[in-house]
């Protein structure tokens, strides 16, 4: 990736932000739009986690990382504390990697 691309994307993001402030001014967005905007960070984080879990470079890879993410998602669904979610996710990934290494 070129530094010029990073620079142009940064300038573009800033221009969009300023344009939004100028266009919207002091007006409030509709409640539906505010609710949707509140969900964007969680959706973006989930997409980045899945991209990093299922790919290596340009290849689709199904390995122990997927097991760890699934176990952590299940622990989160069961509303376990964050430390338990992390320990279960990391532990299951380590166990799968150790089991595959033995075969």
Instruction: Look over the chain and give the mean of its residue pLDDT values, rounded to a whole number.
Output: 91
Tell me the CA distances in angstroms from 79 to 27, 35, 49, 94, one per residue in order: 38, 23, 19, 22
Report the helix count and the strand count for the chain, using DSSP H and E: 4, 2
Q: What is the pLDDT of residues 37-54, one digit of tens each?
A: 899 999 999 999 999 999
- In this predicted structure, the answer to whether residue 11 has a pLDDT above a threshold of 90 is yes
77, two tokens? 């669904």
Report the alpha-carbon distance of residue 18 to residue 23 in Å, rounded.
Answer: 9
99, two tokens? 């089991």
Q: What pTM was estimated for this model as a whole? A: 0.66
């Amino acid at each position: 990736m070129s530094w010029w691309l990073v620079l142009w994307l940064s300038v573009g993001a800033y221009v969009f932000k300023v344009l939004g402030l100028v266009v919207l001014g002091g007006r409030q967005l509709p409640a539906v739009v505010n609710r949707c905007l509140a969900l964007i960070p969680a959706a973006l984080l989930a997409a980045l986690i899945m991209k990093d879990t299922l790919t290596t470079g340009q290849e689709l890879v199904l390995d122990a990382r997927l097991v760890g993410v699934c176990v952590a998602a299940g622990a989160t669904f069961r509303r376990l504390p964050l430390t338990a979610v992390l320990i279960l996710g990391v532990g299951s990934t380590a166990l799968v990697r150790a089991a595959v290494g033995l075969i």
